[in-house]
C-alpha cells in the first residue's frame, strides 16, 4: 500500500493471561520493522471493556516489556478514547489509521467518527 505514515491503535487482550499478550507483542515486533514510518499506540481500553475483559497489570507489563526488549517504541493508554484522539492528531494526508485488536475495536470505529 502507498501511504506516508501508518498509525496503529492496538488493543491488549484482557483476562487471557500473559502468554497471549506476549505473543501479540512478539508478532508486532516481527512485522513493525518491515513497515514504513509507523506509530504504535497501545491501549487497555479500560473505558469500554467489559469487566471480564479488563487488562491486568501483569498482562500489560509483559506486553510492554516485550516491545521494549525488541526496541519497539510505543505509547500506552489505559483508555481507548485518548489513544484514538492521539491517532487523529498524528494523521495527515495519505496516512492510515489501523484499528487492531480484540473486542473494543468494534467500538473504536464508531468512537473515532464521533471524535472527528
C-alpha dihedral sign at 30, 88, 60, 13: negative
Q: pTM here?
A: 0.92
Per-residue pLDDT at 103 exceeds 80: no
Q: What is the pLDDT, as a whole number, of residue 13?
A: 87
* 58-to-12, 14, 27, 65 alpha-carbon distances in Å: 12, 10, 19, 10
Question: Helix, strand or coil for residue 108?
Answer: helix
Among 30, 35, 33, which residue's Cα sits nearest to residue 5?
A: 35
Distance of CA 106 to the CA centre of its chain: 13
Q: Which residues contact 54 (CB under 8 A, 6 or more apart)?
A: 14, 15, 44, 46
For the domain spanning 6-115, the CATH number is 3.90.190
Residue-wise pLDDT for 32-51, tens only, equals 999 989 999 999 999 999 89
Q: How confident is the model at residue 22 (pLDDT cuts 50, 70, 90)?
A: very high
Mean pLDDT of the chain: 94
Q: What is the pLDDT, as a whole number, of residue 80?
A: 96
Amino acid at each position: 500500500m502507498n501511504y506516508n505514515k501508518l498509525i496503529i491503535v492496538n488493543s491488549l487482550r484482557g483476562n487471557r493471561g500473559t502468554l497471549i499478550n506476549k505473543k501479540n507483542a512478539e508478532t508486532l515486533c516481527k512485522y513493525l520493522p518491515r513497515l514504513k514510518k509507523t506509530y504504535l499506540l497501545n491501549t487497555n481500553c479500560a473505558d469500554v471493556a467489559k469487566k471480564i475483559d479488563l487488562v491486568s497489570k501483569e498482562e500489560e507489563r509483559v506486553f510492554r516489556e516485550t516491545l521494549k526488549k525488541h526496541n519497539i517504541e510505543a505509547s500506552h493508554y489505559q483508555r481507548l478514547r485518548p489513544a484514538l484522539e492521539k491517532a487523529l492528531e498524528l494523521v495527515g494526508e495519505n496516512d492510515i489509521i489501523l484499528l487492531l485488536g480484540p473486542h473494543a475495536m468494534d467500538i473504536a470505529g464508531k468512537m473515532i467518527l464521533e471524535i472527528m
